[in-house]
Amino acid sequence: MYDVVILAEQALSAGDAAEVASLHEAIEEPRHYFVLIPVENAALRVENALSALAASEVLAAPPVVANEVDVAKAQQDIDEEAETAVSLSVGQFRRLGHQASGSFTPEDPIEALAAVVEQVKAAEVIVLTRPHVVAELLHLDWASKARRKLGVPTLHLLEHEPLDAEAGAGEGVTGM
């Protein structure tokens, strides 16, 4: 089995999955794609927002109180959205006739990626993101971090939104 782990910011489109799978057409053994999608931690997001307010130069900032129920509900919504994104992505690969599985994680994306790579004994990693010009320039993007941490080939692809949502024209990824 040739295992490929994909770290993606969002659900893969049909075109993105087809492009990724096309990279491995010459591999004769069965392929398995594992999709990993990081999610935000709602409590940490609230904490960071409160810290930013506290550090601001505003002298009379109004008090902001985070309701625990609101944070729990926000995290539930985030997790449900991530589970849907993972299911959609896995489904894209299965429709192409490949084995696929996936998960989402609130942990640091690179640490979670390293754990999955080790767990599935991945042959390679593909990082699929929107363009992040400044992070890429400074080599602080996920792909650069993964290359430094992992002992497997790591490819960075840029995801593309469909140009024409009805026709699906323009779907696909571009290598970087």
- CB burial string 16-33: b at 16+ within 10 A, e below: bbbbbbebbeeeeeebbb
Any alpha helices (H) in the chain, and if so which ranges?
14-22, 42-55, 68-95, 109-120, 133-137, 142-149
Pairing of strands 172-175, 154-160: antiparallel
pLDDT tens-digit profile of 12-28? 999 999 999 999 999 99
At what angle are helices 109-120 and 142-149 packed, to 10 degrees? 50
| pLDDT(174) > 50 | no
Tokens of 68: 């625990």
Q: Which amino acid type is present at position 12?
A: L
According to the 3-state scheme, what is the secondary structure of 23-39? CCCCCCCCEEEEEEEEC
65/48 Cα distance (integer angstroms): 13
- Structural domains in the chain, CATH included, are 2-40+69-175 (3.40.50.620)
End-to-end alpha carbon distance in the chain: 26
State yes or no: pLDDT of 80 exceeds 90: no
Q: What is the strand order of the sheet 154-160 is part of?
A: 99-105, 31-38, 2-8, 124-129, 154-160, 172-175
Q: pLDDT class for 88, splitting at 50, 70, 90?
A: very high
- Could you give the 3-state DSSP secondary structure of residue 129? strand
pLDDT tens-place string over residues 123-168: 999 998 876 655 555 555 778 888 888 888 787 877 765 434 434 4
Please name which of 76, 68, 91, 82 lies closest in space to residue 37, comparing C-alpha atoms: 82
Is the model more confident about 143 or about 103?
Answer: 103
For residue 131, which of 143, 113, 122 has the smallest C-alpha distance? 143
Amino acid present at 136: E
